[in-house]
Amino acid sequence: MEKCIIIFLIINYYSTKLCCSLPTPLTGMPREWQGEPHIVISPQSQKVKVGHRVTLRCAAFGSPAPHYQWYRNGLPLQDKNSETFELEQTTADDGGTYLCSVSNVLEERWTEAADIRIVTTDELHPPTPTATDKVALLIGNLNYAHHPGLLAPTMDVHELGNLLQQLGFRVVSLIDLTKEDMNAAIDKFLDLLDRGVYGLFYYAGHGYEHSGRNYLVAVDAPQPYRPDNCVCVQRIMLRMQEKQTALSVVLLDTCRKWYNKTCAASEIMALGPSGNTVYGYATCEDAEAFEVQDGGKSTGIFTKYLNKHILENRKVTHVLEQVSEDLGLDPLVTGKQAVEIKHTLKEPRSLTDRIRTTGHTRELHLRDTCWRQANALPGKTRLSFPCGVKVEVSFSALFSNVLVVFGTVKNTGPKTQDCSVTLSSKPSLEDIFSGPGSSEVDSLIHIRSDTGSPDCVLRLCSLQKLQGSLVINVDLHYTHVDSKLRLKESQQKDIGRPLVASWGLYKKQHTGAAKMLDAAPTRSLDNVSSSKSPVQQTLDYQCRPFTRKAEVIAARSKEPEENDENEHWK
């Protein structure tokens, strides 16, 4: 059967050679195709015993006909310029990574890399799974405009992001997103996925379940909310599968209470059977997920145990099973919360699998450039003031959309004393971490600072909404030695569009929602929360350390009220 398929592809390949000069586009090819090489067969990885033959095949079509060049471990192989590459009798030195360059005058393309492993025993095991890259998007929503706020997503996203980076993931972490922000960030995340990539999506915040669909509640979702105010998780997984990822993981630390069971769910056209997808739910169907104070630190219970085991070199489902067992033994949530795992793994893939960089094509470079943009910090700089004082301005990232600016007086002038620095930005970006739980954020900033004890710290949040350059205003205050007058000198530093602002996520949003921050400052989330009545503020603060429930808490009980959506549906 395999031989018949290969013969068919080769016949089709030569047929396309004859047809490539025709003005009508080839069946299955885009209309804009101009004749650049198109690879139809790539070499396959193999395990071969010493002394046996190895045959690697590559087939491609193009106009003009493409030229072939085989490579081993990144070096061209002399006189290996045909579709088929053979080694009659292998030796131990023949092992390595092989791939083929296919080119014509229009373009050069590369096949997938094939690992040839030479073994000396009769036992041939399946190759260890590898990833062509690893990409993760982490979202934590905590400051809700119309729902009880949360505390844990800040630390949960921060710690998980650090652990995933240790596993080789390119991590983008975002805090407090509106629905439009979430959709724009998810679109960009999907752009970073490709065939063979490990993709991981994590969310911590309010959520619910409806008709088998899981919905993530954005910080601007109304009360009561409905599906079109939220983001559907299954739609995210579907689009991850469309990218032909080698592993797609979705981890949800959110509630799954059922709401409005009679209304229609989101319509999603399922793909055909596909493997290597994993869902890790913090809780089971129609149940809540909880966050607690653990040693003075707020954490979601699911993420607490996830972070404990995620670095283990085990199949990803086995890691989640261990998380489930640990959570099941936690007396705080016994009988209230239980992890649920759903998967279609066909291979023993782990988050610790190595990344195979040999043989990567142009897509790897583009993905790397895009990811680095979202994590690029402005450079440290020293500002010299006329009075002789030098102030160092440095930067750190708490998250991909939260920039921390440090101002430090490095040396004083001959006529200055009692120097101090204040920082501000233009446009002004609000600090969403000024409420309860700010001490945890302050501890993260202390860790991030490489200047010792800065004289001033400025937190700039919601960078995804930034549309132009960000300017840092540095005001130096000092007392003149002779006059004893308190004086002020100012300088500005244009830092462009740092971190995730460089992605231009606002361009993906509706024009009506993408207003200039400096022309019409948006109302900060802190201000929205503080607009509640004192009674409601007290109720929210009392309840939110214990639950990730997405419902308004009733005064008479800590049980959630039903999120009645029926009035919104006919």
Catalytic residues: 206, 255
Which pairs with CB-CB distance under 8 Å and at least 24 residues apart come from 119-122? Answer: 119/47, 119/48, 119/49, 119/50, 120/49, 120/50, 120/92, 121/49, 122/49
Nearest-angstrom CA–CA distance, 552 and 545: 14
Would you call the peptide bond into 64 cis, given omega within 30 degrees of 0 as the criterion? yes
Beta-bridge partners for 217: 230
CB atoms near residue 144 (< 10 Å): 24
462 phi-psi bin (left φ>0, alpha ψ -120 to 50, beta other):
left
Report which of 412, 346, 406, 351 is spatially closest to residue 380, judged by C-alpha positions: 406
Question: Which two structure tokens, joined as six digits, stand for 396?
Answer: 């750190």
DSSP 304-343: HHHHHHTTSSS-HHHHHHHHHHHHHT-TTSTTT---EEEE
Would you call the peptide bond into 534 cis, given omega within 30 degrees of 0 as the criterion? no
Would you call the peptide bond into 331 cis, given omega within 30 degrees of 0 as the criterion? no
In which residue are the tokens 């795992």 written?
A: 341
In which residue are the tokens 């299954």 written?
A: 234
346 phi-psi bin (left φ>0, alpha ψ -120 to 50, beta other):
alpha
Q: Are 287 and 548 in contact (CB under 8 A)?
A: no
How distant is the alpha carbon of residue 267 from its chain centre? Answer: 25
Nearest-angstrom CA–CA distance, 353 and 103: 32
